[in-house]
Structure formats: structure tokens, C-alpha cells
Amino acid sequence: MHKSRYTSSQIKQIVNATGEIVNDNSINILLTDSRRISNPSGGLFFALSGRRNGHEFIAEAYNAGVRDFILKQQPEGYFPEANLLVVEDVLMALQKLAAYHRSQFNLPVIGITGSNGKTIVKEWLYQLLSADKTIVRNPKSYNSQIGVPLSVWQINDRNDLGIFEAGVSTTGEMIRLEAIIKPEIGILTHIGSAHDEGFNDREEKISEKLKLFANCRLLIHNYEQLLDYQEEIKTPERFIWSRFFNQADLYVFSETTIEKNYYLRAIYKGEEIECLIPFRDEASIENAIVCWATMLAMDYSPVTADERIERLAPVSMRLELKNGINDCSVIDDTYNSDIQSLEIALNFLNQQNQYQKKTLILSDIYQSGLQQDVLYKQVADLVKARQVDKFIGVGEALVAHQQYFDIPEKYFFTDTITLIKQLNNLGFRRETILLKGSRNFEFERISRVLVQKAHETVMEINLNALLNNLNFYRSKLKPGVKVMAMVKAFSYGSGTYELANMLQYNKVDYLAVAYADEAVALRQAGITLPLVVLNTEVSAFEKLTEFKLQPVLYSFGLFEEFVKYVQDSNIFNYPIHLKIDTGMHRLGFEDYEIETLCDMLEDNPYVRIQSVFSHLSASDAAQHDEFTQKQINTFETAFKQIEEVLGYTVIKHICNTSGIIRWPGAQYDMVRVGIGLYGIDAAVPASDASLQPIGSLKTSISQIKKIAAGDTIGYNRNGTLSKDGRIATVRIGYADGYLRAFGNGVGTMLVKGVVVPTVGNVSMDMCMIDVSEVPDVKEGDEVIVFNEKQRIEELAAQIGTIPYEILTNVSQRVKRVYFYE
């Protein structure tokens, strides 16, 4: 159906590869992830060596039907029908191919970079310009060395404008992106301190970003930001905006808030012009000014620019995963709909395995640049390939193309209202529902019906941050070291299957929980990874074998009981893990017990030792390093003894989070990452942005009161203000996990960016904070208990505990909302 673009032999020539063309296929899809192959025919797989070696996934991709590969070397294994094209550098080949593809089109392209606001500006320009242009742009924030070529690859001959953002993390990267994007118009958005780590200083970072504009005709930027960089700007034309410099092309001289909007006046071509922005926060205002400047620079009239900017819609790149009615999960992605972001959302749907049944509610897709029959055939193929069980299409175009959808259960409605009226008749029960709609279909109305009402105190969990943290630890591991992810105690309070599914999808090797019940719940939610139970109990033996869970055995009594149990059940070689106590003195065999243990292991046909491990008592604390070293030595002696009697090698592991970085020599065959996955590690300073806290605990203000100096506040009249002021009552108390110890000014919260103290005692369901110093505070405003700014480590320090306790204390009453960008 779709127009094929290149043949295998053309590709071979473009990327300058060696290797034999067995069949000259036609290629139209670039693949970089073997887990995400929906349309194998026409796919070209790039074995990128990243965190996971792409070459390991060739077999996976081949078995899925892919026949064209770009590789660094000929793979082992037998792939008779494949074109195996070998290049020096696989990433470079991907970029070369994208650059070649770009060179086949002479459409105008806007290139955007900056440290903040790239994605918003790109998405807003898309909203503002798509009335008269067929635009191709990066899906979401695909702006990396891999994301940009994949984005540019989408250009087709119906597009008459490209808008691509480029992100760089270190020097030397922008030149490569420039060669792929080849922008004619450049936009520099806000430069802040974000992503400073990869650069020596700000100057270096800005110079690197400016390389995107090396061959631009026109650059749009803020005056003050580039004052010191005049020499480096080579573009023949510039459009400069400023709030201070009255000679700027767009000089914004007046700014006022009007209710929920922000009103700007400016001088442009000697005339006064105006613009109303439907947002009030600083970042949105600056991004909107950038868009305003861009429209004017592109010769839109001030009136048109104002009219369109006034209708800007918020941009959310998030997919939110929430609890739905009737035991459903709902993935909310109601902001936009195009085929690339549909694909991303379907990947997320497939990754969440808690229910077998997968449902997609999709609206018509606008502005795809494809003919409708081509577009909906592609959508239908994608939906079928991702094994959606139930499809609900909303919109006239979907109704008209319903014959394309070969799905077991399907329904079509002309508009959102008609669907909402029928919602109760569609039998939603124990399924994961993906809601994906274009803005004007207002799918948030569907979401309001399907999502369980959450009380206003929620914990938001950022799944991208979880992935970032996992990859951070992976980058610290020696080659071949496995990862056991610790998801005990509801993943340290952050959730259950949502995180486990994400970790499984990203191929950790083991998951570990404390008790068998936790593991059973994960199995029932679709987790197929090996699951290790740390605190094995005799009463749970049956569950262990029924759900294929792997117990940790830590004492003779337990060992004997378990062996007897499997023997009686006529089971052989049951996988188990042995825990050695090297000084923690909690669970495990002591060093003097190892010999007896070895006798019991010798020729024991009933169990098979998967791993031998121990736990460090103070891996993060320098003052105990000598003790830690002793633990490691004791461990080494013990496992050597054990391996000797077993006659086979086992996985050895001792490092928890802090051990990974502080004791790299003790990584052995596997590490057990716990709190680090959740963004906290005593060995990584909070100022280092490599780790990202994954949770934000948010609540809101139920009431604001004026309080006179000396009035008492809360139970036992413990709280007072030293001068007249205002307090806010917020919807969180000790029953939510906000401990009483935080009361009376010990704890702080964040309100509109201001750190405020508690006043008085914390009650069961609420507490009071002093908001006298917060301007414009209103009832209903959001209050942050912890997030990436008000960090869990600080909260722990306030009440003299550790971050682990703060995290796991957040009670189950507080709804968790997961998001993924």
C-alpha cells in the first residue's frame, strides 16, 4: 500500500556498506528496537550498539520477519534470507540515510534548539501553522542522535513544511544533526541551566547549539541571550525579539495579566501590535513569544498571529496510566493523535500486561499528510500488529474506513458524544484501555467517565525517570553483569505491576520482592521474568511452586523443609537462591555454617542453585569501608566453597544500589538495584542530574484562613504565627503517610515555588501550612510535598529518618498516577 522508498541495494550504496544483497527488498520503515516491530516487511533494522547490544537482537528481529539489517559485523547464526549490510558505524549509517532522504526534498524546514521549550515551541508552531501547511515534525521529543534521523525519515512529498527540534548533550553532536535537518529557518528557545553536565561551561553549550544554524537563512532569537555571541552567528537574516531592547524586530514593552490570560503589547515595524496568550506561567509566556516572533518572521500578519495564538492549547507529551472503573487500567493520551505517537502509545499499551485484554479508543487523525485510505490502512495494520483486542473508532473518517479494521471486537461512532452515551454498553471489564484522540475530539470527557475519581492527593510516578535511572546503573556495570530490580514493598511505595512491567519490557534479569504474595500479584499481572522471594516462609511453599517463584533459602531449617517439600511433590532441580550472612546479621548462613551447607548441597537433585548472594550493611558509608571489604572477602570465600561442591557455576551478587558505584570490584555477576531505581543514591549527589527522582507527592489547598498573631492552630493549640498572616489547610495527613513528626514547622512544602513550613500538629487527613509569604495563593492550588525540587532526602533529614521510609510510608489511600513521555 505505502509507497516504497528505497530498495535494499540503494540503501547499501547510500550508507556505503559491504555485504551481499540476497533479495532486493523495498524499504520504508526504519527499526531500532527489536521489541517494537509491528510491520516487519519493508523494515530495515539498525543494530545500534547502545546499552543493549543491537546484535543480540538480530535473531529476534529476523524471527519477527525483518530481512534487512545494518550491522557492525557479520552476526553469528543462520539468517539465509537476510540482507546483512556491514558498516563501520551503525549510528552514522542511520544518520547518513536520513540525511540522504532529507536531500531528496526541498521543502522549507524550521530547526529548533535551546535548553528548554523546544518541544513546546515545536508543537505550538504545529498548532499555529497547520491551518495552511502540511507539516512533518518530530514525534514527541524525539530530538536525539537517533530520534532526529527517525523523525526526518518521515518526510514525504505531500509535506510543505518541516519542523524539527534538535537536542544535544555534549559537543560534536549538533553538526551531525544539522546535516540531517538542514534547516532554513532557525529558532533558539530559552537557554537555562538544563543539561549543563555534558559541557565545560555555558559558553561551550551555547556555541554547540548555534551550530544548528550554520546554514540557515534566518535565525529567530532573543536579543539578550546572544549578546556575547554575535561573531558566531553567521545567518544572513535575523529576527530578534526582546523585552528590553527597543530596536529589536519585536520589542515587547508591556505585559499584563488578564484573568487566566496574559496580554502583550509590542512594537513591530514601527507599529504597535498586541497578542493575548492563554497561559500565565513564565515558561509558557516565553515560548509563546518565540512562536509570535516566528509567525511574524514568516510574514504572517500580526492580526492572524494574534488570532491563532489566542487559541493555543496546552501541550502534554505525557501518557498517563490511571486506575479505571470495573478493574480497568486507563492510559490517557488525549492531547494529540498522529501515527507516530499512536505507535508510541501502543508500545506502552503492550508493555503494560496487567490485563490480557487490550482496548484502543481512537479518534480520526488530522494532518497526516497522507491520503485517507493510505492513512487508515496503515492505522489498521498497526492496530492489528499490536494485537489490540477491542477497537473503538470515533470520527467520520474512521467510520468511513471501518472495513480496514480486522479486529475481533470493534465499534465505530461518528463523534465523542455518541460514544459517551454508549459507554456503559461496551462492557469494559478487566482490560487496559488506551485513549488516544486529537485535541478537538475532547477525549478528556471519555476519560472522566472511565477513570476512577482520585482524591486530590496523588503520587505521580515518572516512568521515564525510572528508565533513565535503570540505564544510569546499566552504564556503571561491567560487561555481562546482570540486574536484579528490587520491587519489594510495592516497589518502594511507587506501585506494583506498572513498574514491574516497565522493567520487564526493558529486560532486567530478575525481579525481587519480600514476600510470596507480592510475587503472586506480579505473576497475575503478566510478569514472566524470574521472580525471587527474599523472605521465604514455610507457609508459602505451595505458592512458590504453583507460580514458579524462586525462594531465597537462608537457614538449615528452611533449606531442609523446602527440599522435603519439593521431594514430596516429585520436583527436581527447583531453582533457589542461597543467602550468606557476611556481617549484616539479619538472614543468611554464617561463615562457619558453609561447610555443613556444602554437605547438604552435594548431589542434591531436588534443588538447583541459581545464585549465591550476601548483603552489605553499609555500602554507602565511607567510615565502614573496612568492614564492607571484610564482608566482600567473606562472601568470596563462601561462594568458592559452594561452587566447588556444586560442580557448576552460579550467579554471585552482593551489591545493592550504593555498592554499584562505590564497590565496582564487587559487582560479580549481578547487582541488586533498589532505591537507585527510584532516583535516590547516597553515592550520587542530589545535584548530579544523572539520577531522577521518580515520584512527586502532590496535594491541594482546601481552605485559606487569615490568622492574627497569637491565634492558635490545630489540635492541642500547638501552632501560632508570630505576626498576622495566612494559613492554608491541605489535604494530606498522617494517614496518607505525612507523619506527625513533620508538624509544627519541622516539615516544609512547596506552594507556587515557595518553600513554606507546616504550622501546628499534623492531623489524620490534613495539615496546615503557613502561606503568608506566598503571593496570589488560592484555594485549590497545588501543593508539593516532595518532587525533584523538594527532595525526599530533605524530608528524611527534617524528621531524622532515611528516604526509604519516606517513600514506603505513602499510604495506599494515595492514588498513584503513572506517566510516560
Enzyme catalytic residues? 488, 715
Q: Does 675 bind ligand PLP (CB under 6 A)?
A: yes
Element (H, E) at 695: strand 695-707
Among 672, 733, 767, 771, binds ligand PLP (CB under 6 A): 672
Q: Does 674 bind ligand PLP (CB under 6 A)?
A: yes
Among 38, 115, 656, 772, binds ligand PLP (CB under 6 A): 656
- By C-beta, is 54 or 674 nearer to ligand PLP? 674
- By C-beta, is 505 or 515 nearer to ligand PLP? 515
Shortest distance, CB of residue 668 to ligand PLP, whole angstroms? 13
Q: Give DSSP secondary structure letters for 114-161.
A: -SSSHHHHHHHHHHHHTTT--EEE-STT--STTHHHHHHTT--TT--E
774 Cβ partners below 8 Å, 6+ apart? 751, 752, 754, 756
Shortest distance, CB of residue 483 to ligand PLP, whole angstroms? 11
Cα 113 to its chain centre, rounded Å, is 21
- By C-beta, is 72 or 488 nearer to ligand PLP? 488
Among 102, 122, 615, 662, binds ligand PLP (CB under 6 A): 615
Candidate segments 177-185, 327-335, 669-677, 687-695, binder of ligand PLP by CB under 6 A: 669-677
Candidate segments 142-150, 569-577, 670-678, 733-741, binder of ligand PLP by CB under 6 A: 670-678
Shortest distance, CB of residue 266 to ligand PLP, whole angstroms? 53
- By C-beta, is 140 or 579 nearer to ligand PLP? 579
Candidate segments 150-158, 369-377, 460-468, 671-679, binder of ligand PLP by CB under 6 A: 671-679
Binders of ligand PLP among residues 236 to 255 (CB under 6 A) are: none
Name the 3-class secondary structure at 363. strand
> Quick check: 578 and 645 in contact, CB under 8 A?
no
Shortest distance, CB of residue 124 to ligand PLP, whole angstroms? 41
Candidate segments 10-18, 195-203, 673-681, 742-750, binder of ligand PLP by CB under 6 A: 673-681
User: Looking at 244-400, which runs of residues are DSSP E strands?
Assistant: 250-258, 261-268, 271-277, 319-323, 329-333, 357-363, 390-394
Binders of ligand PLP among residues 526 to 545 (CB under 6 A) are: 534
Give the Cβ contact number of residue 445 at 10 Å: 14
Q: Which three cell numbers stand for residue 58?
A: 538480530
- By C-beta, is 383 or 670 nearer to ligand PLP? 670
- By C-beta, is 550 or 657 nearer to ligand PLP? 657
790 Cβ partners below 8 Å, 6+ apart? 748, 749, 750, 755, 784
Q: Could you tell me how many residues of this chain bind ligand PLP (CB under 6 A)?
A: 11
Phi, psi of 104 (to 5 degrees): -80, -5
Measured CA to CA, the distance from residue 722 to residue 773 in angstroms comes to: 13
Cα 245 to its chain centre, rounded Å, is 40
- By C-beta, is 624 or 752 nearer to ligand PLP? 624
Candidate segments 12-20, 83-91, 143-151, 674-682, binder of ligand PLP by CB under 6 A: 674-682
Q: Does 806 bind ligand PLP (CB under 6 A)?
A: no
- By C-beta, is 256 or 623 nearer to ligand PLP? 623
Sign of the alpha-carbon dihedral angle for 227, 229, 233, 236 = positive
Among 657, 758, 772, 798, binds ligand PLP (CB under 6 A): 657
Shortest distance, CB of residue 565 to ligand PLP, whole angstroms? 23
Name the 3-class secondary structure at 236. coil
- By C-beta, is 282 or 625 nearer to ligand PLP? 625
- By C-beta, is 474 or 488 nearer to ligand PLP? 488
Measured CA to CA, the distance from residue 179 to residue 95 in angstroms comes to: 9
Measured CA to CA, the distance from residue 755 to residue 44 in angstroms comes to: 52
Among 486, 500, 520, 684, binds ligand PLP (CB under 6 A): 486
- By C-beta, is 159 or 657 nearer to ligand PLP? 657
Closest CA to 611 of 545, 555, 676, 530: 530
Measured CA to CA, the distance from residue 578 to residue 553 in angstroms comes to: 5
- By C-beta, is 660 or 721 nearer to ligand PLP? 660
Residue 198's identity, in one-letter code, is G
Shortest distance, CB of residue 57 to ligand PLP, whole angstroms? 28
Phi, psi of 46 (to 5 degrees): -100, 115
Shortest distance, CB of residue 631 to ligand PLP, whole angstroms? 13
Q: Does 111 bind ligand PLP (CB under 6 A)?
A: no
CA geometry: angle at 177 spanning 171 and 180, to 5°? Answer: 160
65: β partners: none
Confirm or deny that 600 is annotated as ligand binding. no
> Quick check: 58 and 74 in contact, CB under 8 A?
no
Shortest distance, CB of residue 535 to ligand PLP, whole angstroms? 9
Measured CA to CA, the distance from residue 27 to residue 682 in angstroms comes to: 48
Measured CA to CA, the distance from residue 419 to residue 426 in angstroms comes to: 9
706 Cβ partners below 8 Å, 6+ apart? 724, 725, 726
Among 91, 673, 759, 792, binds ligand PLP (CB under 6 A): 673
Q: What Rg, from alpha-carbon coordinates, does the chain have?
A: 29
Per the document, the length of the chain is 821
Candidate segments 290-298, 666-674, 710-718, 737-745, binder of ligand PLP by CB under 6 A: 666-674
Shortest distance, CB of residue 486 to ligand PLP, whole angstroms? 4
Closest CA to 133 of 112, 162, 104, 113: 162
Confirm or deny that 670 is annotated as ligand binding. no
User: Looking at 5-115, which runs of residues are DSSP E strands?
Assistant: 6-7, 26-27, 29-31, 43-46, 68-71, 83-86, 109-113
Closest CA to 185 of 155, 210, 213, 144: 213
- Quickly count helices (H) and strands (E) in the chain: 25, 37
Shortest distance, CB of residue 573 to ligand PLP, whole angstroms? 24
Residue showing the smallest CB distance to ligand PLP in the complex: 674
* Residue 741-770 contact track with ligand PLP, rule CB under 6 A, x = bound: ------------------------------
Give the Cβ contact number of residue 128 at 10 Å: 23
> Quick check: 644 and 687 in contact, CB under 8 A?
no
Closest CA to 187 of 201, 166, 203: 166
Shortest distance, CB of residue 488 to ligand PLP, whole angstroms? 6
Candidate segments 458-466, 591-599, 672-680, 726-734, binder of ligand PLP by CB under 6 A: 672-680
Candidate segments 105-113, 181-189, 389-397, 667-675, binder of ligand PLP by CB under 6 A: 667-675
Shortest distance, CB of residue 676 to ligand PLP, whole angstroms? 6
Q: Does 549 bind ligand PLP (CB under 6 A)?
A: no
Name the 3-class secondary structure at 475. helix
Extract the annotated binding site.
Answer: 586, 764
Note the residues at the interface with ligand PLP (CB under 6 A).
486, 488, 534, 615, 656-657, 672-676
Extract the annotated binding site for substrate.
Answer: 586, 764
